[in-house]
Structure 1
Amino acid sequence: MTAAVSCGCASTGGSGEGTAPGAPTGVSAQAGSATSVHVMWNAVAAGPEVSAYEVYRGARKVGEAPGSAHMLDVVRLTPSTAYVFTVRARDAGGRLGPRSREARATTPAAATADGSAPTVPGAVTGRAVGSRAVQLSWSPSTDDTRVVSYDVYQGGTKIHSVGGGQTATVVTGLRPHTRYAFTVRARDAADNVSPAGPPVRLTTASGADEGRDTAPADFRAASRLADGAYYLDLSWTPPRVDGVVTEYQVELDGRAATSLVWGGAPLRGTASYSFYAGREAGAGHRVRLRARLPDGTWGAFSAQRTVTTGESG
């Protein structure tokens, strides 16, 4: 199942002077409780520097976050209600970029007279996955109704939220060779929040290594003959990071060959793409790819595969 389209041979950029920032990609919305929604987006990496992101509910602006952030909790919402959110980037000169694609979320019903918080998430563990990311996992909390979301804190600051059915995430956008303390709290529909367990203390690696868990996994490549020409069929699993991956760069024989940008909601399962490789049989190629992470930077490359046209792989 192919969900991406080619956008050329290299990532696009632009000079920031006199132009507004681009539209944020990868916008997603997750109900945090009966009265709140957690909105996330990918950093706008090209063009003028972003000073702030504005979040809209329909046509109304409901909040903003600094340019270094890519998440915001929208609060004081109505239970059992569907909402539509968009995000716009603003530069230091006040220029607003275009709206992002819409992200939809429905708040759950409010629990009647629910005064009990969920239990503390158990067995919270983590590990650094390179210089700018950590992987966290925990065992599920229990609640007298149900757990709607898990909030991840860095020190005393909430930095991320995932749905109540998720018990792991990769947090990106960290600094190299830096020690962090993370905790996880569970939240129910009535906005009751569990206590935090003991912090998980992790130190990111030195240098610019992105870490293998920011690389696409299960990468496969095979040759296919169609209408007298050979094509390379690629498939992979997106990296599991704290946001949505919308762009990939394919490297062929050591050089950037094409960039792929999703035209709609990106797949969270297996992704695939096929591109032209010429008419010559027996030509060998080396291919790998990497993802642009939600913080706007590139993750690690996948494993490299060698493919020969005319041979299955």
Structure 2
Amino acid sequence: MRGPAVQRPTVRALTACSLLLLTATACGGGSHAAPPADRTKPSTPAGVSAQAGSATSVHVMWSPSTDDRGVTGYEIYEKGKKVKAVAAETTMADVDRLAPSQAYAFTVRARDGAGNLSAPSAAVAAKTPAPTPDDRKPPTRPTLLRGTADGARSVTLSWQRATDTVGVTSYDIYQEDSRIHSVPGTETRTRVEGLRPGTVYTFTVRARDAAENSSQDSNSLDLTTAPGPGKGPSTAPTGLTVTARAEAGERTLRLRWTQPRTGGEVKEYQLYLNGSFATTIAWGAPPEPGPVTYTLTVTEPPGTRYTVKLRAKLPDGKWGDFSAQRTVVGAGS
């Protein structure tokens, strides 16, 4: 005799919508919409200027643009034809391979990450000077470079005029070994913008003529920008001097500097030579307060040019700000 029939649950096939519901994604209108496409153009670059730097080059500068999601670069055009592109953090560029004694007109456009281009800036004109192929004599060096920091992001520089057998066409401003700005040869004063807060900068100026001959560096000038919001005093070593020596066949660089005020002990420094990390300077115990010295042995031939800067390891383990950079020529015969 059979027992009562067992009622088994009915298994129904799950629809696509049911599966979506089980995964917490609603059907029909509940899905997350993709972010809207970026169709907003950056603002048009302003403050554009152009100055012939030589018979075959023009230096173009402009003020930064803005964008709702960020500017990613700039494009420079000459009468509608793109001649150069630079990264977003750059607001100046040299346009090379131009013809002498030629008039040019430049515009600048900003680009964002979606490829949107701003409207062209106002056109600025520049004319390259005539070539001077036999001119091989550089201008004299600019002298008496002076300046002041104008807050956290700019400095003002001035210098005494250089001379040249044909004529100075421009002055190039260098920060350490990088050219960051140029002005016409008729000017001896400029403002450099786009700097970082609480940072020490070492400036020099060189004069340049139409044949691309550059003078020797002016005197160097150290300027420290004001700290930005939330940033304390500079942690850079100060008063750095570097002296080249040659004794008993050994060539050395003798460094002397004043330690930064960090609120604690500094036992370690990083030394950079010619822009690259060279060595760590460490003491078994913290040096006495006041100036400290260090001697570095070098093996390059006499007359080698060295650039030197250093930074301290702070009590919290982070590396501090770099000192001003110093340039010296190796001693010896």
Q: Per the shorter chain, which TM-score range?
A: 0.5 to 0.7
Task: Flag the structure with more relative contact order, 1 or 2, with Cα contacts below 8 A and sequence separation at least 6.
Answer: 1
Cα drift, residue 45 of structure 1: 2.6
Match of residue 135, structure 1, among 156, 176, 182: 156
* Residue pair 2:42, 2:66 contacting (<8 A) in 1 also: no
Q: 4+ runs of 1 displaced by more than 4 Å? A: none
Match of residue 98, structure 1, among 95, 119, 124: 119
Q: Which residue does the alignment assign to 1:34?
A: 55
Counterpart amino acid of residue 118 in structure 1 = P
State the SS of the aligned residue for 1:202.
Answer: strand
Inter-partner Cα distance in structure 2 for 1:124 and 1:132: 19
Identity of aligned residues (%): 51
5 Å-filtered alignment, 1:240-279, equals none
Inter-partner Cα distance in structure 2 for 1:135 and 1:55: 26
Q: Which residue does the alignment assign to 2:132?
A: 111
Counterpart amino acid of residue 75 in structure 1 = D
Q: Which residue does the alignment assign to 2:178?
A: 157
5 Å-filtered alignment, 1:215-226, equals none
Q: Which residue does the alignment assign to 1:56?
A: 77
Cα drift, residue 207 of structure 1: 3.1
Q: Which residue does the alignment assign to 1:235?
A: none
Match of residue 75, structure 1, among 68, 91, 96: 96
* Residue pair 2:45, 2:121 contacting (<8 A) in 1 also: yes
- Point out the structure with the larger strand share: 1
* Residue pair 1:49, 1:92 contacting (<8 A) in 2 also: yes
Inter-partner Cα distance in structure 1 for 2:119 and 2:214: 36
Inter-partner Cα distance in structure 1 for 2:54 and 2:173: 15
1:196 aligns with 2:214: no
* Residue pair 1:21, 1:97 contacting (<8 A) in 2 also: yes
Counterpart amino acid of residue 48 in structure 2 = V
Q: 1:151-172: CA deviations, max 9, x gaps?
A: 0111111111100010011111
State the SS of the aligned residue for 2:163.
Answer: coil
Gaps of 5+ in 2: 1-35, 230-333
Inter-partner Cα distance in structure 1 for 2:108 and 2:133: 33
State the SS of the aligned residue for 1:148.
Answer: strand
Task: Name the count of aligned residue pairs.
Answer: 195
Cα drift, residue 20 of structure 1: 1.9
Kindly tell me: are residues 35 and 16 of structure 1, through their superposed partners in 2, closer, same or farther at Cα, counting changes over 3 Å?
farther
TM-score by length of 1: 0.60
Q: Which residue does the alignment assign to 2:33?
A: none
TM-score by length of 2: 0.56
Inter-partner Cα distance in structure 1 for 2:83 and 2:174: 23
Match of residue 41, structure 2, among 20, 27, 31: 20
* Residue pair 2:143, 2:219 contacting (<8 A) in 1 also: no
Inter-partner Cα distance in structure 1 for 2:225 and 2:137: 36
Inter-partner Cα distance in structure 2 for 1:146 and 1:57: 26
Counterpart amino acid of residue 47 in structure 2 = G
Inter-partner Cα distance in structure 1 for 2:228 and 2:80: 43
Q: Which residue does the alignment assign to 2:145?
A: 124
* Residue pair 1:16, 1:47 contacting (<8 A) in 2 also: no
Cα drift, residue 64 of structure 1: 1.2
1:85 aligns with 2:113: no
Kindly tell me: are residues 16 and 149 of structure 1, through their superposed partners in 2, closer, same or farther at Cα, counting changes over 3 Å?
farther
Counterpart amino acid of residue 140 in structure 1 = R
Q: 1:232-264: CA deviations, max 9, x gaps?
A: xxxxxxxxxxxxxxxxxxxxxxxxxxxxxxxxx
Inter-partner Cα distance in structure 1 for 2:181 and 2:204: 11
* Residue pair 2:206, 2:214 contacting (<8 A) in 1 also: yes
* Residue pair 1:22, 1:47 contacting (<8 A) in 2 also: no
CA RMSD, 1 decimal? 1.9
